[in-house]
Amino acid sequence: MDLSYVCLLHEQDPAEFVEITVWDPIKQSRTKLKIGYNEEAFLPKDGLLVLPSGVDLHVHFREPGYTWKEDFKSGSIAALAGGITLAVDMPNTDPPVTTVDRLLAKKKLRDRSSRIPLIIAGAIIEDNTDELPSLSKETPVLKAFLGDSFGKLHLTFEGFANALQILNEERWDGVVFIHAEDPSLFNSDAFPEDHWKTRPEEAEVVAVRKALTIAKQYPRVRIHLTHLSSANSVELVRKNNAEGHCTVSYDVTPAHLEFHKDSLVQESWKLKRNPPIRPKPVMERLRKLFLKGELFALASDHAPHTIEEKTSTECPPGSPGVQEIYPFLLDYTLRGVLSWHEMVNMVRTNPLRVLRHIKYLPHRLLVNPNDNVKINEAWIKTKVGWSLWEGRILRGRIVGVLCEHEGEHFLVPPRKEALSQYL
């Protein structure tokens, strides 16, 4: 499956072309590019890096049903500003994507508004097993919520096993994404402000273990464990793969690597998400794997809610993140903590291995390594207008996304007003 450039190209040709020389840190070589740009694009004359664009395996762009939080247009603009040119959109919208008709309707909304290619995931629930054969033919990604989160699509372990059996019989070549938490281990007696206690680490680890046990019975069906928050969970997956069982992939969010339960004392509402932000020792164990470059993939779990919703007594779980994931990695790489190959593996190479039906993702980024970005209101593009990283300064600035067309390159500047005008 090749991806069209159409959603990233300007509607009109850029006003002027220039030839620039850039450094490719992956290939360790210099490359000459003929760049088309418009007056709104800031293009330094030298010192630029050219890098592969990023893939985000887990976003919630909230359309249909919750478009005051985000929609395909605003979410994809935020993605482009952060160097992401392919993402997987989750099915817990309103209505949830549990039937073929709903999937096709959501694809129409995507095609009308999204600035980047998006894979629309379908949901596996207890009572749509009859729909799975036809639903699976329309999407390469299905999502199983083994623990309830936003949207109430809980699937039991028995239902999960039944779904894998059906997909195995269908010889489906897609991948099942799993939100792994065992609700039997949730602690309803914990205080709401102690969200990490209501959904303890053990609930995730046990769910991962159960999911792996079930998956071993259907090795032909690929599974991907998303937003793991514990090093114990990661080690279970790595042990499973090392022992030659069904090969399982996984991702971790930057939020679980950067924050612990006491990180934002004055704005603790920002941290609430599922699975929860953990105590500092749990975060540090997971972070050690990251700093060694040993994690398989990173995904944002971009799940925006308005500030009013987050500061209410309900405080729904989730936070934005699609714009921050690549700059987060870029900062660590420019500081010499990660290698370029480790960074690209986590944000591009390994996510594309999960989405192996994508044969070609051509987009690249121009990055100014000598500039910084400050995460503030002017930088944030998501509709809800806030970030976990607000106030942080990160090394490296994404100048724009390169799109090749008819032998020449077009620069899409990462500015909301510019994108709205030219896309």
pLDDT confidence of residue 191: 61
Beta-carbon contacts of residue 56 (< 8 Å; ≥ 6 apart): 79, 84, 86, 87, 88, 299, 300, 302, 322, 325, 351
Residue 241 dihedral angles phi and psi, to the nearest 5°: -70, -40
Q: Is 380 helix (H, G, I), strand (E, B) or coil?
A: coil
pLDDT confidence of residue 246: 80
User: Which residue in this structure is represented by tokens 């299905």?
Assistant: 142
Residue 342 dihedral angles phi and psi, to the nearest 5°: -65, -45
Burial 377-396 (b: 16+ CB within 10 A, else e): eebbbbbbebbbbbebebbb
Residue 307 dihedral angles phi and psi, to the nearest 5°: -60, -40
Cα separation, 301 vs 304, in Å, equals: 9
Domains present along the chain, CATH in parentheses: 52-394 (3.20.20.140)
Between strands 122-124 and 141-145, the pairing is parallel
pLDDT confidence of residue 311: 94
Number of Cβ within a 10 Å radius of residue 131 = 19
pLDDT confidence of residue 151: 66
Q: Is 201 helix (H, G, I), strand (E, B) or coil?
A: helix
Supply 45's token pair: 């004359």
- Residue at 329: amino acid letter: L
Q: What averages of pLDDT result for each successive group of 10 residues across the chain (423 residues)?
A: 49 60 85 68 68 96 98 94 95 96 96 91 94 96 88 90 97 97 86 82 98 95 98 97 90 98 89 95 98 97 97 93 98 96 96 91 88 95 97 93 73 48 28
pLDDT confidence of residue 293: 94
pLDDT confidence of residue 276: 95
Please give the model's pTM, rounded to 2 decimal places. 0.92
pLDDT confidence of residue 37: 62
